[in-house]
Structure 1
Amino acid sequence: MTACGNQSTTPTIKYINVDSACTAFGPIITHGADPDVMDSRTVKAINAHNDKWDSLCENEGDIEAHSLSSGL
């Protein structure tokens, strides 16, 4: 048997691994008086989520995470 191709004629494919988690699970953005009417546990959970996103994805996109301004 003979083959038509060999290693010198078959191009090498370079794979790029793209992690889309930073895009899919971006920071939670609130508007206006949202933090004032939310339960304090919700505000803390949103801040924890946004802090984690900042630590893992700070160089992954244009979205900026903002902590909620609340007197917790």
Structure 2
Amino acid sequence: MVRSVKTNRISAVFAAVIVVLFSAFIGMFTFGRDVFAEPVVPGVPWSAVVEPLLIVVALLISVTYSLVIGRVERSTGEV
């Protein structure tokens, strides 16, 4: 199946967002380790908040991508 240019562009944008998101997280964890060790509230460090949030955001981006691509393919008749 040949995908349209529009579908490929949408895929590239979503892939770029995921790469930037994970690269930012890795960079923050590498260079801002002190910040991740600071407590948000007593006994809960930033790392315990940011890491699960990253997973949830990546999941939401993936679900959004699936919905957008499905809608585009239905509208263009690619299915």
TM over 0.5: no
Give the structure with higher Rg (CA): 1
**Structure number with higher strand proportion:** 2
TM-score between both structures, scaled by the size of structure 1: 0.34
TM-score between both structures, scaled by the size of structure 2: 0.32
**Structure number with higher helix proportion:** 2
